[in-house]
Amino acid sequence: MKKPVIAISMGDPNGIGPEVILKFLKQYDLSNSIPVLVGSGKVVEYYSEICDIHLPIRRFSEKDSLENGNVYLLDLNESSNFEINPGEISNLAGKMAMKAVEKGIELCMNKQADALVTAPISKESINLAGYNIPGHTEFLAEKTKTEEVVMVLASEILRVALATIHIPLKDVSRSITKGIIQRNLRILQKSLKVDFGIYEPKIAVLGLNPHAGDGGVIGKEEIDIIRPALDELSSEGLNVVGPYAADGYFGNGMHEHFDATFAMYHDQGLIPFKTLTFGEGVNFTAGLPIIRTSPDHGTAFDIAGKNIADMHSFQSAYQMAAMMAQNRIRKS
Ligand SMILES: NC(=O)c1ccc[n+]([C@@H]2O[C@H](COP(=O)([O-])OP(=O)(O)OC[C@H]3O[C@@H](n4cnc5c(N)ncnc54)[C@H](O)[C@@H]3O)[C@@H](O)[C@H]2O)c1
Ligand SMILES: N[C@H](C(=O)O)[C@H](O)COP(=O)(O)O
């Protein structure tokens, strides 16, 4: 059977992305998939020296077919005189990182790659570079012309999905609408079935307010918006339960009884997720026409260039992408 081709955008050259990629590839069994690094040869050389990892890497050419057992590099910056400065916020670094993401998306959309794994970008650097977006998720949606995507963080022990993603806390309440909740829960339910292979997904939904509003005493979104949204979805046949008070829900280990937990905003879902799973979680974008995963961490500028970054979350992200891609190849 054809082995999946996995494009890897190398992330911010001043962050830990290139380092975790090399550490992962050093021990990866290349008979399972074909990794294609999208980024800069100069960055690969720089971190290969720092980490003392010297992999045989072949140049990617759009004309040649890819052979199993190799790592390929699509070098977008051959003539660049960009200087790598680990830990530095820089508009050039942001630009390089986003060019790689863009090319990775293109490879997937053109079917030259079966999935995209994105190494971390710095939101500050990409905004300095003129990319006026808060993250990969929004960029992927725009570039693939997908209106509706959902951020899902997944690990062995829990999955968390979000109603709202990268927006300021002050805007969360007004962004929580019945339409958004229902739209995202439908995308999540489909993704749990198709991408994660769960036959009848059971989803828990968190409230927005402390104690899920306590009967309307501490906020009314649960009564006015969330519960009616869930009632309608239940009558359509979705197994959605809630809204639960978020603190007690996680404190009590209730997430263990559901296939996914649907949180109302970024930190409500990602703080428990990262606390319970940091270093092994995967960020997956549900609803896209392509497969995209990413590690659960950022650029970690405080440790960049020190050869101490842990590669396990990147490994999980790569393996999840390869597994999903292999499943799609098998079904096609
Ligand atoms: N997928 C992505 O592109 C992505 C994901 C998260 C954050 N970010 C961005 O990264 C930048 C920094 O974000 P942050 O500081 O909030 O989070 P971070 O994950 O970069 O760092 C948080 C802490 O965890 C440590 N850490 C992170 N990854 C590690 C690893 N693999 N091994 C060892 N230690 C690790 C860091 O040293 C730091 O102390 C921000 O611009 C943020 O938006 C990007
Ligand atoms: N919310 C993500 C996290 O904290 O892990 C992170 O910002 C990455 O988001 P994108 O995948 O959209 O870049």
Residue-level pLDDT, tens digit, the chain, 332 residues: 789 999 999 999 999 999 999 999 999 999 999 999 999 999 999 999 999 999 999 999 877 789 899 999 999 976 667 899 999 999 999 999 999 999 999 999 999 999 999 999 999 999 999 999 999 999 999 999 999 999 999 999 999 999 999 999 999 999 999 999 999 999 999 999 999 999 999 999 999 999 999 999 999 999 999 999 999 999 999 999 999 999 999 999 999 999 999 999 999 999 999 999 988 899 999 999 999 999 999 999 999 999 999 999 999 999 999 999 999 888 87
| Strand, helix or coil for residue 263 | strand
Residue 194: predicted pLDDT: 93
Which residue's CA is the nearest one to ligand 1's atom 37?
Answer: 300
Any atom of ligand 1 within 6 Å of the Cβ of 16: yes
Helix (H) or strand (E) holding 241: strand 239-244
pLDDT tens digits, 45-97: 999 999 999 999 999 987 778 989 999 999 997 666 789 999 999 999 999 99
CA distances from 249 to 111, 121, 210, 231, 242 (A): 41, 32, 12, 20, 10
Taking alpha carbons only, the member of 69, 70, 62, 17 closest to residue 39 is: 17
- Ligand 1 centroid–CA 16 distance in Å is 9
Any atom of ligand 2 within 6 Å of the Cβ of 295: no
Identify whether the C-beta of residue 261 lies closer than 8 Å to the C-beta of residue 269.
yes
**All residues at 6 or more sequence positions from 63 whose CB lies less than 8 Å from its CB, including other chains:** none
**91 token code pair:** 């508009």
**50 token code pair:** 């720092």
Mutational test site, ligand 1, from 116, 117, 297, max ligand atoms within 8 Å of CB: 297
Interface predicted TM-score (ipTM) over 0.90: yes
Identify whether the C-beta of residue 209 lies closer than 8 Å to the C-beta of residue 221.
yes
Domains and CATH numbers, the chain: 1-146+288-332 (3.40.718.10), 150-285 (3.40.718.10)
